[in-house]
Amino acid sequence: MGWLPSWLGGSGGESKPTPQVTSDGGVQAPNRRDRARCWEARDAYFKCLDKHNILDSMGPGAADAKAKCPVEDTEFEKNCASSWVKYFREWRVAEYKKQERLRMIEAENAKAQAQR
Amino acid sequence: MPRPAPSVASTARALRPGGATRRAFDNSNPILRRPAPPDESRQLYHSSSRTISNRAVFQAPTPVFAGAQREFVSCRNVQRGNFSTSQRRCRAFKTVQEADSRHRGGGPFSWKAGLIFIITGACLSIYFQAEKARMERKRIAEHTKGVGKPKVGGPFNLIDTNGKPFTHENLKGKYSLIYFGFTHCPDICPDELDKMATMYDLVKQNMGNVIRPVFISADPARDTPQVLRTYLDEFHPEFIGLTGEYEEVKATCKAYRVYFSTPEGVKPGQDYLVDHSIYFYLMDPEGDFVEVLGRNFTAEQAAKVIMDHIKDWKGPLDKN
């Protein structure tokens, strides 16, 4: 599985990546190519979630997300470190709430403007 | 032998308000636009109509400059009486062109005066704005210089990507652009580091070698010198990467008011994220804090802010 990012240890499937430890005791970070691959998998996964109207892919929504987007879910988990996967899932919900709040504020502003 | 008196026709030409004067005080020009002629001036044209047959005179009573009106009045009055005796007194403004040129050069609102006024105004406005921006930058830059002001930054004791000690003393002489982050950062740090590379190149291109780009890791357990070097080379080979003992890194973050959440005593295999502030810190050649640049700045905007500060700097600046 040579195409897998080095920090995944070349092992695919469900097994979690074994981080590559450098000779001075550090842990090698994903490089630019690894990041691009992870972001690509994430975007494909989120697009699928959008299609099925799923916002939260954690907790109660996890099973539904997995059932509707099995391929994308697996690719996402495979190409991103688990801390990143968790971060991006949370980010998706937070970002939606943020946009929702912005829309609300804008709508209120528009209403106030119209009343004036 | 007196000169022959001007004919009625030429007088009419001289009096015609729609002649050359119309060009000078055109109604379409908002600056020169004047109110409709008062009844007085209308009266003036009417009385003259008795001697002048040309209907154009009172057909279009275009408003004329008050001074010009007076001149015509005096002319008209004498002409109505006796042509041969009035001729000498009227000679000063025999034609509209003459009267026109007189007033065009001598009025208080000539185009030259207007132009000078506008240019002076524009220059002053530009100067004051530039000066205001400079003072604002000075205020920001010197904010932390005084006594009793909250300090951002300060002494630290870390190691660079060669494993050599690197302290706050190593930052002096040049400006420095400092960013805190960690190499396992999912999405924000990589974007910001790409931006930092552009900022650094822009400043170096325009101002010379007067700034140090510094990345300080907030995750010393995983970010060793070797990891940092490999990571930073992807963004810019000249980036300085700093890491160190957990306590030293924590103290550095505290000095720079960076939120530090790194867990202590993590094992190499552990997978975790670190929360951290996402600002660029600009420090002056004396190691004092100048300004923070947030994510809202583009690389170009941030580079401009930095270059403006560098241009203001009066002290010694290491360009090697």
CB A30 within 8 A of CB A7: yes
- A85 and A36 belong to one structural domain: yes
At position B277, the amino acid (one-letter code) is: S
Cβ contacts of A30 on chain B, cutoff 8 Å: 184
- A37 and A89 belong to one structural domain: yes
Residue B124 has which token pair? 């002053």
For helices A70-79 and A32-51, the axis angle rounded to 10 degrees is: 160
Give the structural domain span for A5: 1-29
- A35 and A25 belong to one structural domain: no
Helix (H/G/I), strand (E/B), else coil: A83: helix
Binary contact (A19, B272; C-beta < 8 A): no
- What pLDDT is attached to residue B40? 46
Residue B167 has which token pair? 């302290």
CB pairs under 8 A between A and B: 64
Q: What is the ipTM of this complex?
A: 0.76
Binary contact (B227, A35; C-beta < 8 A): no
- A18 and A47 belong to one structural domain: no
- A51 and A102 belong to one structural domain: yes
Report in angstroms the alpha-carbon separations of B171 from A85, B152, B153, B248: 37, 14, 11, 17
- What pLDDT is attached to residue A4? 42
Please name the member of B222, B234, B273 whose beta carbon is closest to the beta carbon of A27: B222
Binary contact (A19, B273; C-beta < 8 A): no
Helix (H/G/I), strand (E/B), else coil: A101: helix
Strand partners, B176: B212, B283
Binary contact (A19, B271; C-beta < 8 A): yes
Domains of chain B: 8-104 (no CATH), 134-143+151-312 (3.40.30.10)
Report in angstroms the alpha-carbon separations of A78 from A18, A27, B200: 12, 19, 35
* Residue B184 known to bind ligand: no
Distance linking the first and last C-alpha atoms of chain A? 65
- A19 and A53 belong to one structural domain: no
- A101 and A52 belong to one structural domain: yes
- What pLDDT is attached to residue B273? 84
Cα B117 vs. chain centroid, distance in angstroms?
A: 20
Total residues found in chain B within this entry:
320
Helix (H/G/I), strand (E/B), else coil: B6: coil
CA-to-CA distance for A10 and A19, rounded, in angstroms?
A: 11
Cβ contacts of A27 on chain B, cutoff 8 Å: 184, 221-222, 227, 268-269
| B266 in contact with A, Cβ within 8 Å | no
Cβ neighbours, 10 Å, residue A100: 10
Beta carbons within 8 Å of B178's beta carbon, 6+ residues apart = B214, B215, B216, B256, B280, B281, B282, B283
Cβ contacts of B222 on chain A, cutoff 8 Å: 26-27, 29
Residue B225 has which token pair? 């010198």
| A15 in contact with B, Cβ within 8 Å | no
- What pLDDT is attached to residue B148? 55
- A35 and A20 belong to one structural domain: no
Count: domains in chain A: 2
CA-to-CA distance for A4 and A16, rounded, in angstroms?
A: 12
Q: Which helix (H) or strand (E) holds B196?
A: helix B188-207
- A69 and A22 belong to one structural domain: no
- What pLDDT is attached to residue B48? 42
* Residue B185 known to bind ligand: yes
Return the biggest CA–CA distance within chain A. Answer: 68
- A65 and A40 belong to one structural domain: yes
- A64 and A90 belong to one structural domain: yes
Q: What is the mean pLDDT, run by run of 10 residues, along chain B of 320 residues?
A: 46 44 46 48 44 44 46 46 47 60 62 90 93 85 63 90 94 94 90 95 94 93 92 95 93 88 74 81 91 92 94 88
Residues of chain A with pLDDT under 70: 1-19
Cβ neighbours, 10 Å, residue A42: 24
DSSP string over B51-70: T---THHHH------HHHHH
State the pTM of this model: 0.64
- A62 and A99 belong to one structural domain: yes
For helices A32-51 and A82-115, the axis angle rounded to 10 degrees is: 60
- What pLDDT is attached to residue B150? 60
